[in-house]
Structure 1
Amino acid sequence: MDAPSSTPSRQGSPEVTVVLADDHLVVRAGMRLLLAQDPAFRIVAESATVPDTLDAVREHRPRVLVLDLTMAGQSSLPMIPALLTASPGTRILVLTMQEDPAFTREALRTGAAGYLLKEAAAEELLAAAHQVADGATYVQPVLGARLAVETPGPAHQEPVPVLGARSAAVTPGPADQEPLTVREAEVLSLLALGHTNQEIAQRLYVSVRTVETHRSRIRDKLGKDTRAELIAAARERGLVA
């Protein structure tokens, strides 16, 4: 079987060929503009329907397929195995609005290498694309955490590695406390695990100042700041064991 196509990059290493599959022209244009800024990537095709995506993958055998879960009213989830059969070397990065962990689990079960929400920051998309191209699995922490704590289904899926982050949902705590946003919950869990602000910033692809802002909001909402208090608060919310 032929390997996914690639050509030498300006740095001398193979370019990562990419197919963009999304039925929204503006979304594809944004992804194209973002990936074009990184010399490691080369866009070889775009598609707006599930059948066209399958044709593009067969023709170009890209290293990475950035795939929306719903295109032109049709779910692309059932087509993931067929896409991988058409090009076994292709790594599929799902980029979607679907926050339900059930979609994440099913996408990974059927062969996707990554799962990212469309609200993710630009640098997170780049990081995810690099990770899956390099053979790693990429799942946003909020979704990975939900997969890890939920009761496994019939297939008893193992928790997946967690990299990157972003979501606007909230994580509830005691009734008398203001709920944390998911980003704040991610920062809280990492603080509770002993990570420094610098380490958290690197892990979440944000600035140290942003981490400091989240930490200040956590302190204001919870009235807690010491590591012991943060660990207790994170355990209370099921963020750490």
Structure 2
Amino acid sequence: MYKILVIDRCHFSRNGLKEWLNHPDYFTASFSVTGIDNLLHAREHILQWQPNMVIADFYSFMGELHHIQQLSSIFAACGNTTRLILLQSGHAAVLDDYCAMQNSWRSAEKSLSLQGLRTLIQEALVSRPPFGEPKPVTPLLTLREERVLSLWSEGTSNEVIAAAMRITVKTVYTYKRNIRMKLGADNRFSLFLALPETMAAG
């Protein structure tokens, strides 16, 4: 059984791909498909679950992507053993340029026909090398920083974050400062504002 991870902000895309991949009329292979709509958790999911393939629409996250380097840990986690197919729902120059320099296996638009996508998936499965030794992956944010950012983005107070993570409030402030620096946020509010029109549209 092949494992496929779908990274997409759209609920319908994730579930639609899952249903289509598991339809016996389209594929003879058997798939276990998992969908995820959170970039912060995608890297850990790839490292722990070790899918044969990742199908990602990074464009769907452009409204919440504050620094293009956030995607680096996902590319690194896929490495040379997990085939990464970018199935983008739109274009942004900053995203297109960054992805062109990374190690994705193929890139296509979401408007690709199902037959075209089926061919891509079959080629990816045939060409995928066996899993090698796990390689260290250096993420943009540490796991604890990802946890702080996740709680922070939900509106959790510093005191509650500190209690949940068993750290001091002062340490929460330090994590937040480091997160802002790594993500290029000018202030503590800009992480949660929509991106400027020019960045989102590219």
Q: TM-score w.r.t. structure 1 length?
A: 0.44
Q: Distance in 2 between matches of 1:41 and 1:113?
A: 21
Structure with bigger helix share is 2
Point out the structure with max Rg over C-alpha: 1
Aligned pair partner of 1:31 in 10, 13, 17: 17
What does residue 116 of structure 2 align with? 124
Q: CA deviation at 1:52?
A: 2.1
Equivalent pairs counted in the alignment come to 122
Q: CA deviation at 1:113?
A: 0.7
Q: CA deviation at 1:131?
A: 2.1
Q: Distance in 2 between matches of 1:122 and 1:128?
A: 10
What does residue 73 of structure 1 align with? 63
Pick closer, same or farther for the CA change 1:34–1:69 going to 2, 3 Å: same
What does residue 218 of structure 1 align with? none
- Aligned identity (percent) is 12
Of 18-27 and 127-136, deviating more is 127-136
Q: CA deviation at 1:90?
A: 1.0
Unaligned runs of 5+ in 1: 1-14, 137-241
Q: CA deviation at 1:81?
A: 3.7
Q: Deviations over 1:113-159 (max 9, x none)?
A: 111111111111111122233338xxxxxxxxxxxxxxxxxxxxxxx
Pick closer, same or farther for the CA change 1:117–1:20 going to 2, 3 Å: same
Any conservation in 1 of the 2:56–2:84 contact (CA below 8 Å)? yes
Q: CA deviation at 1:106?
A: 3.2
Q: Deviations over 1:217-237 (max 9, x none)?
A: xxxxxxxxxxxxxxxxxxxxx
What does residue 20 of structure 1 align with? 6
Q: How does 1:70-219 map to 2 (within 5 A)?
A: 70=59, 71=61, 73-75=63-65, 78-88=69-79, 89-99=81-91, 103-104=95-96, 106-135=98-127
Pick closer, same or farther for the CA change 1:108–1:52 going to 2, 3 Å: same
Q: Secondary structure at the match of 2:15?
A: helix
Any conservation in 2 of the 1:80–1:110 contact (CA below 8 Å)? no
Aligned-residue CA RMSD (Å)? 2.7
Q: CA deviation at 1:103?
A: 4.5
Q: Distance in 1 between matches of 2:104 and 2:113?
A: 20
Amino acid in structure 2 at the alignment position of 1:74: E
Amino acid in structure 2 at the alignment position of 1:115: S
The reply to whether residue 42 of structure 1 matches residue 26 of structure 2 is no
Q: TM-score w.r.t. structure 2 length?
A: 0.51
Higher-RCO chain (CA-CA 8 Å, sequence separation at least 6) = 2
Amino acid in structure 1 at the alignment position of 2:63: G
